[in-house]
A and B are shown apart, each in its own frame.
Chain A
Amino acid sequence: GQNIDQPTEMTATEGAIVQINCTYQTSGFNGLFWYQQHAGEAPTFLSYNVLDGLEEKGRFSSFLSRSKGYSYLLLKELQMKDSASYLCAPSDTGFQKLVFGTGTRLLVSP
């Protein structure tokens, strides 16, 4: 089975930096995804980490430590449009599916 733990909600102000943490326990592991989901919309891909370390992609970066079962998503220069849920999703071996956590709802205020 899989167990994924993320904070339920976070708040930040426009222009700030926020770090969303995720810890996970999985029976098999083949990388970790972060998705963004605006209310009423489909999840959209943000990042994928399979090796330990930091992956940077514009304003968004994602970090993975496989030995600790830990990942974080770092969002810089926050904008109002970044208000959304951020879903941590480890993938299992064989890549048959992603299992999503409950997500972290981020509210960015002016």
Chain B
Amino acid sequence: EPEVTQTPSHQVTQMGQEVILRCVPISNHLYFYWYRQILGQKVEFLVSFYNNEISEKSEIFDDQFSVERPDGSNFTLKIRSTKLEDSAMYFCASRRDGPLGGGNEKLFFGSGTQLSVL
């Protein structure tokens, strides 16, 4: 089955530094998402991206965060000036376009990037 791939699997950074988390969604998918999960807590929505623009973002996704689709395959999350509380597992997800049903609604998740801010 096709997979969403994320790199790196682990990222350690110093507080105040910038990090870029990378994702390669499944090739025929058109909706892209970033979620995060702080250890022991729920999976939280950050942002959704469609047609080369942000379609929705949560309160968490403030000016510190940005997303980009720099080419036809990659989807990135940039976190500027990282803080201790940004330490979390970050998941990328994607899904197909099309009417609901037949699998179009199914969100595929990557295996995540564990970000540790020291």
Q: How far is the CB of A46 from chain B (nearest CB, A)?
A: 10
Is residue B75 within 8 Å, beta carbon to beta carbon, of the partner chain?
Answer: no
- For the residues of B in contact with A, the DSSP-based class is strand
Q: Is the CB of B109 within 8 A of A42?
A: yes
Q: Which residues of A contact B108 (CB under 8 A)?
A: 45
Q: How far is the CB of A28 from chain B (nearest CB, A)?
A: 12
Among residues 50 to 106 in chain B, which have CB atoms less than 8 Å away from a CB atom of chain A? 50, 55-56, 89, 91, 100-101, 105-106
Q: Which residues of A contact B45 (CB under 8 A)?
A: 97-100
- For the residues of A in contact with B, the DSSP-based class is loop
Q: Is the CB of A95 within 8 A of B43?
A: no
Query: What's the Cα separation between A33 and B108 when bound, in Å?
Result: 12
Q: How many residues in B have their beta carbons less than 8 Å from beta carbons of A?
A: 24
**Are A42 and B100 also in contact (CB < 8 A) when A31-B105, A98-B45, A101-B42 are?**
no
Q: How far is the CB of B61 from chain A (nearest CB, A)?
A: 11
Q: Which residue of B lies closest to A92 (CB)?
A: B56
**Which residues of B pack against A, CB within 8 Å?**
31, 33, 35, 41-45, 48, 50, 55-56, 89, 91, 100-101, 105-112
| Given A41-B112, A96-B48, 5 more pairs with CB closer than 8 A | A41-B111, A45-B107, A96-B50, A98-B45, A100-B43
